[in-house]
Amino acid sequence: MENRRIAEILRSGEPDEFVAVQGWVRTKRELKGFSFLEVNDGSCLASLQVVLNEDLPDYDDILKKLNTGASVEVAGVLVGSLGKGQRIELKTDKIKVFGEADPETYPLQKKRHSFEFLRTIGHLRSRTNSFGAVFRVRNACATAIHQFFQERGFLWVHTPIITANDCEGAGELFSVTSLDLKNVPRTQTQAIDYSKDFFSKPTYLTVSGQLEAEVMAMAFTNVYTFGPTFRAENSNTSRHLAEFWMVEPEMAFCDLKGDMDLAEAFLKHIFKYVLETCQEDMEFFNQRIDNTVLATADNIINNKFERITYTEAVKLLEKADVQFEYPVNWGLDLQSEHERYLCEQLFKKPVIVSNYPAQIKAFYMRLDEDEKTVSAMDILAPKIGEIIGGSQREERLDVLERRIQAQGMKPEDLWWYLDLRRFGTVPHAGFGLGFERLVQFMTGMGNIRDVIPFPRTPESAEF
């Protein structure tokens, strides 16, 4: 008999069909003469109801083994269900227990567990309803991302994890070394002799694949990266991870407006795809996690994002009848309370803020005519804050060299990046989407640690 996935059986299984399923027991209910099991295989939120009759061989012995968490294979016939909540159930002829789960020690019992508790059992939490839904939606977001770019002729390029550059220039780098540094005090790491190191120079885990994506865009016109990135920023917040996934499209022959247009169409596409393919999971989030999730999705898909410049944003914030903790002043970066005021209270939808002061942004962003601002843009999302950061890139060799120097970096370290401006330079632009912030935005999950299977945050790397 063919093994089938539970999602498919619940969707299209018919009475009288013989099926076999494999999965994990969620609950067991013993009644007089028969028992019900809920079996889940991760393919969907719902579990398959399985009926065991007491005339099954070894009924009592088997029942003792069927506790929450046990792994099973169940075969039998599908019958229409009388119970409410399911269309169809499985009447068991044969059941095999692969592995038991001792109810005294198995941490996931039927009650609701807090997310804090579930973080301490990261190896088991994916077996709960909430995390099942999160990781299915995460998968759907990834599929939608590839679909969006592939349909538009973008090439998926694979940029390195180990790099010698600090793309953002923010110094939030994790070092990679083959040297034994156990006995080197932190204060002396500058003096390390890297000639004996694996790469003969200091290297780091990448903070962004952008610079390498620019290399590829200068040959393939439109490309995107989708991979892990790393930042040693010591921000213990619900929006920061030390290891997060980023999606970075890069387009040759594109300016800031084209960049914003693509980013908006991109977010709309992902929301639409997830609503269509993960209906049950999205309804679950709306009911159990955040009752604005479905309305937010609808808002994203159907309304144009607000677009304002940084200078306009500062004026709006200065006029706001809210007491902010941090000052608002032209030249200072926007804090998350400012970002949230703009998209949650003022516009009540995503806001694209553009043309930030040059001195608070990275060296590669294109200097505007006024020489005060750069062609940067951030997309701010309600409840999340910055979800996308992007810009038109500086394509003029002399200006770029000046900007690199002004930020205390050495142009010779980026000789290959400058070569792109020496040979066939073109206006180009791109952005980076924080993938976990997208999944948070989509699901309403409050903490970024709960939308990635194995979160990496300060002092936490269990596996």
Of all helices (H) and strands (E), which one includes residue 216? Answer: helix 210-220
State the residues that interact with ligand 4AD by CB under 6 A. Answer: 167-168, 208, 210, 231, 233, 240-241, 244, 246, 248, 386-391, 430-432, 434, 436-437
User: What is the SS3 assignment for 137?
Assistant: helix
Residue 37 touches which member of Mg ion, ligand 4AD, none, C-beta under 5-8 Å by kind? none
- Min dist CB 365 to ligand 4AD, Å, is 9
Nearer to ligand 4AD, 109 or 238 (CB): 238
Burial 225-254 (b: 16+ CB within 10 A, else e): bbbbbbbeeeeeeebbbbbbbbbbbbbbeb
When CB distances are held under 5 to 8 angstroms depending on the partner's kind, the choice from Mg ion, ligand 4AD, none that residue 354 binds is none
d(C-alpha 66, C-alpha 60), whole Å: 10
Q: How far apart are CB 363 and ligand 4AD at their closest, in Å?
A: 11
Separation CA 59–CA 433 (nearest Å): 53
Quick one: 174 or 194, whose CB is closer to ligand 4AD? 174
> CB of residue 166 vs ligand 4AD: minimum separation in angstroms?
11
Please give the residue ranges that form the binding site for Mg ion (CB under 5 A).
389
CB of 431 to ligand 4AD, least distance (A): 5
| DSSP designation for 47 | P
Give counts: helices (H), strands (E), the chain. 13, 16
- Strands annotated E in 100-167: 155-156, 162-163
Least distance in angstroms from the C-beta of 440 to ligand 4AD: 9
Indicate which of ligand 4AD, Mg ion, none lies near residue 349 (CB less than 5 to 8 Å, by partner kind): none
Nearer Cβ to Mg ion (37/387): 387
Q: Which residue is nearest to Mg ion (CB)?
A: 389
Please state, as a whole number, how many other Cβ atoms lie within 10 Å of the Cβ of residue 447. 15
Residue 382 binding partner per list Mg ion, ligand 4AD, none, with a CB distance cut-off of 5 to 8 Å that depends on partner kind: none
* CA–CA gap between residue 165 and residue 7 (Å, rounded): 46
Amino acid at 202: P
Q: Which among ligand 4AD, Mg ion, none contacts residue 241 (Cβ within 5 to 8 A by kind)?
A: ligand 4AD
Taking the least distance from each CB to Mg ion, the nearer of 69 and 249 is 249
229, 160 Cβ separation under 8 angstroms: no
Nearer to Mg ion, 350 or 389 (CB): 389
Toward ligand 4AD, which CB reaches closer, 19 or 342?
Answer: 342
Which residue in this structure is represented by tokens 């903490």?
Answer: 447
Decide: 179 and 192 in contact? Cβ < 8 Å. yes
Distance of closest approach, residue 287 Cβ to Mg ion, in angstroms:
33
List, in sequence order, every beta strand (DSSP E) within 253-400: 306-309, 351-354, 376-381, 385-392
Maximum C-alpha span of the chain: 85
Report, in Å, the least distance between residue 273 CB and ligand 4AD: 19
Q: Which lies closer to ligand 4AD via its Cβ, residue 266 or residue 431? A: 431
CB atoms within 10 A of CB 149: 21
The full DSSP string for 253-316 is T--HHHHHHHHHHHHHHHHHHHHHH-HHHHHHHHHHT-TTHHHHHHHHHHSPPEEEEHHHHHHH
For the CB of residue 83, give the shortest distance to ligand 4AD in the complex, in Å.
Answer: 43
Please identify, using beta-carbon distances, which residue of 42 and 446 lies nearer to ligand 4AD: 446
From the list ligand 4AD, Mg ion, none, which binds 231 (C-beta under 5 to 8 Å, kind-based)? ligand 4AD
Binding partner at 437 among Mg ion, ligand 4AD, none, C-beta below 5 to 8 Å by kind:
ligand 4AD
Side chain identity, residue 350: P
